[in-house]
Amino acid sequence: METHQHRADALVVGTGYAGSIAALRLAEAGVATLVLERGRRWPVGPEGDTFATQHAPDGRASWLSPRSPLTDRTLDIRTGVLESLEGEGLTMIAAAGVGGASLLSNGTMVEPSAALFERAFAGVLDRDEMHDVWYPEARELIGCSPIPKDVLESDFYRSSRDFMEQLDRAGIPHEPVDLAVDWDVVREEMAGRRTASHIAGLNVFGVNSGAQRSMDVTVLARAEATGRVEVRPLSRVTGIRPAGEGHLVSYDELDEGGRVVARHEVRAAHLVLAAGTLGTTRLLLRARAEGALPDLDASVGSRVGNSEVITARTGMAPNNPAQGGPCSVLVRDWEDNPYAPVTLLNFPWVDAPADEGWITTIGASPTEPLGSFGYDADADDVVLNWPVEDPRVQRAARAVQDTLDRLNAATPGSRTAFNRIGTTGGNVVGGVPLGLATDAGGRVHGARNLYVVDSSLLHGSSGAVPPALTVAAVAARVTSLLVPSVAGR
């Protein structure tokens, strides 16, 4: 098969929060930028059937695999929205598609407290700078806001109101959480004029109503509108190697069934990796193993973390638990928990029993960056190790259980149905630690004009809160430092 040759001043790999922000800021600086995305575009139309749902999963729910950790069905093979990597102690999931993780996450935008920030980033990032400059910029770019009063008071969100009442009785602090959601579209869902998606808890594989403020329709769309950004979907990067002062990037052009229809090489003067924790770490470890980037720092692949804890409680009065999403209530049990600070976010559970009360949460608590990626040459892929039985990891579950115990004590009849460390991790971060594998601006040690801007920069933690806002804020910061070099200023 012939290999097509191209050139680019700047090449960005990935279109999630980090890649979209990098593309926008490069374009605004006058840099012609090529963006490669392995997944397809997912335009939401009036039919409201763009994405698969939990009720009817198919190949759109999985990246080139008949299996997905989020369903037990056998799927047809397509370039769907979720890749899964089976690791020791953890099955990691990673997004695929123009917009990346912003397509299908709950869109919760949370800044950690000063104490939690310092616990996660001391010596790596300055909290005052991040709080004063980069978190506000990330919020502005994404466009997030808490659930409006009229939506919260609807019957769809009865379980959220029930949860807040229980928290008040238990004396546990909580507040509405900022969400990357267009609430006017949610109101359209409620009125029956859009496909019921968020209100029906059907957002795991994408949001068919168009209510999600994903990068493809916000930040990346702004970047493309400049005329300086070209996005090439279904372009799976397979390798990077130095070429002069820049890099030669190999990628396969795919059809929607995952078949290779053409091969390409791009000679990029500046290369920005924004393929996420899995994608970016995979590319760098492969390049080092193959001898293309032998001088990468030894820390590449290290300081990986997963703070996710999944819980459910039942035994309360019926509260419509299968509806009302995404997460609307942020629990901040950050000071009174005897084990560790705990964050909880409620979300609907589509399989919850309709005739009884049920509240499901995603929890987070500080954990050490104990995980790591390695490279398996025979499989030509990374391997992931996460010590789920390590006492330092299990402490997070104990901390969350203490929060649940107080909730149950304040809600007679309620009990914990399950509380487990998340072994299907969509919030895994780390692998290219900022300040170790890179300098303060994301410039990769041991390579020329190669930068990382995404979740792999975090040291295994986002401060015991969901990582999306922190990933975007860090991306905004490091991009501000790399743009002058790329633009020749």
pLDDT tens digits for range 186-224 = 999 999 999 999 999 999 999 999 999 999 999 999 999
Q: What is the mean pLDDT of the chain?
A: 95
Neighbour-count burial of 18, counting CB atoms closer than 10 A to its CB (0-12 exposed, 13-18 middle, 19+ buried): buried
pLDDT digits over 425-440, tens only?
A: 678 999 999 999 999 9
- Residue 4: which residues within 8 A CB-CB, separation 6 or more? 262, 263, 264, 265
Percent of the chain with pLDDT over 90: 87
**pLDDT band for position 14 (50/70/90)?**
very high
Which CATH number describes the domain made up of 3-487?
3.50.50.60
pLDDT of residue 87: 87
Percent of the chain with pLDDT over 70: 99
Mean pLDDT of 77-88: 94
CA-based end-to-end distance of the chain? 40
Mean pLDDT of 129-133: 98
Per the model's pLDDT, the better-predicted residue between 77 and 353 turns out to be 77
Mean pLDDT of 4-19: 95
φ, ψ for residue 481, nearest 5 deg = -85, -30
pLDDT of residue 427: 87
pLDDT of residue 489: 60
The answer to whether 180 touches 326, Cβ cutoff 8 Å, is no
Residue 388 has pLDDT above 90, yes or no: no
**pLDDT band for position 356 (50/70/90)?**
confident
∠ CA 379-271-479, nearest 5°, is: 120
